Structure 1
Amino acid sequence: MDETLLRSLTPSVLGILVRRGADFAAAEDAVQDALVEAVRVWPADPPRDPKGWLVTAAWRKFLDATRADSARRRREERMDEEPAPGPAPDADDTLQLYFLCAHPSLTPSSAVALTLRAVGGLTTRQIARAYLVPEATMAQRISRAKRTVSGVRFDRPGDVATVLRVLYLVFNEGYSGDVDLAAEAIRLTRQLAAAIDHPEVAGLLALMLLHHARRAARTGPDGGLVPLAEQDRGRWDTASIAEGVGILQAALARDRLGEFQAQAAIAALHADAPAAEETDWVQIVEWYDELVRLTDSPVVRLNRAVAVGEADGPRAGLAALASLDESLPRHAAVAAYLHERDGDLGTAARLYAEAARKAPNLAERGHLTRQAARLNARLNARR
């Protein structure tokens, strides 16, 4: 059974049902039922036209459910008869489904869950395991999201920026449970890039590939976090880096710069450096300046302070940091790093310990705790 094929066909099959007049929520349920049927039947009797088979099976499931619901009998009478089995239509509604699942009326968590279910073809159980929540909780979240978008028409233009933010949220979840969400986000973004010619879609795909290329080097044998400067660059995936850089260069050549292209350019400069000390920090600062212009994000300004500290010295970095709110995530960690580089080990140790207490996950907490302990040990040795 080719599970990847099934998942790749899910959005186009769902789109066909919706275009035929099916309510989104009912259509999505019917497609999931058809996928279950395919898993049962295909190993012994594989179809010649998998997409056509799924469309026919899903439409039958939808009609069966509609007939069983007396409250929908009037709508059933207005529907056309079941289409004869045959090749599925060539129209691909994948792009519209991306827009629908990233509808502005949905919360970010609901948009992510619905995208993974309707476009990604993942089961509710898989999504729940990936987000470490009970399956019933995720089922309720998806059901509410489906009800929210059920009345949205397919003929309205979608917001590409919203879709990209949802996909980036998926990517940043990384890996947990039995679903690799980073790999899934890359697959979905590739699919989106094939459906729409947009430089920011290409920029996001390039950014994902460049970040994902460093994945194997991000943790040590003990599972501890390895900072970028200390990573074994021989473990980076050079094929993914080359692909990401190629996609980014083509996007930048179109002269329609967006935030994901700028982020990808920064990631490409890190990937291009043979060693940490050879990183082109001056150019990275210039790209952060572009990002600030595009987003004016406090998080971008925080990361820019690190780059300024590397390019112009730690005191310049601390000066850039001074204007930022100390409650920002990772502010204490950045301040600790810059104070350490400036030779103020006592302040750095205190800030590393503070950052560890605020860390969002165990891996980061452990890394920051070790940094504080390392500096305290040096201070004690001096005394």
Structure 2
Amino acid sequence: MGLQSENLDPLVQRFLETKKSFAEEGEMVFSPTDGSHATKILENVRSLGWEGFVQNPGDYVAEIVLEFYANINKSERTSKIGGKIIPFNSVVLNDLYNFKDINDEGTVIKIEGKDEIVMAEAFKELCPDGVRSYYKNSWSIAFMVMLLYAIQRSLPINVGRMISDGIIASRFSNESKCLFYPSTITRLAEMFNVDMSNFRRVQSNYAIDQSYLSTLQPPRGIERRASHGQTSSESPELETNVQPMQTKTNIAPATVSSDILACLQQIMLKQEEMTRNWDVFKNEQVMRITHVMTELAQTRSSQKIISQTIDNQVAYTFPTIQMMGNLMWNVANAVRNSNIPNFQPYFVTDPGMSSFNGEGISVHPAQGLSMSMVSPPPIVFSERGEVSTAFPMSHTSHPFSVT
């Protein structure tokens, strides 16, 4: 039976071709008689209750592991093998290894480096002279250091969650070049009764033994010797060449990583610089906003003063305007009500005479001539100082002729 995948598109096929190797789980095969490092590790394993976890992980089936990774549903943390749904959340994986599904959110924050103070403390305590790694993927160095720090401090660690997160990272991370936990995935398939009778089982040859303990040595370098006041002849252990961990697994050859502590220090310095720049920018913006608000307040105050001045001026001049309006109204009424005599128009027949009563002078009323004069209408002033007339103004003038 070959690989079965519902999502075996070209991208998945290329993924399977790229990650051809497996990161096999290893069995811890040393004892307290193998030295201080072994004793310390075994004490930590015992305190965490991980004795069963470090035993022989068992064989694995390559085809089953590939099908599992090809069909992973990241959001639901499930996969399919032979048409059967295989969950790989923390509850299922903890049940597989007889662990409790504990809450370790606080530990996760520390392990993932989100707490910079704890991270700096861990590297200062565990790696005072830097870090040298024999793993190809240097991105995992900080994680492993923080995990070791959590183990030494007896912080709660959810093993099932870590395995589940590792499976997701192995499938979707571009930096991961191999597939993790082949034995664990095979055991999951057995738990859910997947038929594997037609597949060849592969024995895991990786072991955590004395060759691993030999790599747990301080890094070489002038800084290390100077910090202890020793020369190379006084401390032959420091001059020992540290060899890469030898295993029989098909993981790609390991390389030495750069000094992760120096890199982290540079990152922290850059973060501090960014924080300072942000504080300066924030203070400048606060000062600008304060200045603008002050100018707005001053403008509003000036507007209030101008408005008050206008109101005072109107209140001061209105009585005078009202008095003048009343005076003109009284004058208009007086003119309108007075008896002004009407003069009949006359014409002179002999304009050369100098006296109206002279002889030969004839004065007669002019025919067809009429004149009328209308007194001006009264002027009324309103309370707002506006002028209006009480009656419409009219003026008539009839044409006249002199004969």
State TM-score, norm by structure 2.
0.21
Give 1 or 2 for the bigger CA radius of gyration: 2
State TM-score, norm by structure 1.
0.22
Structure ranking higher in strand proportion? 2
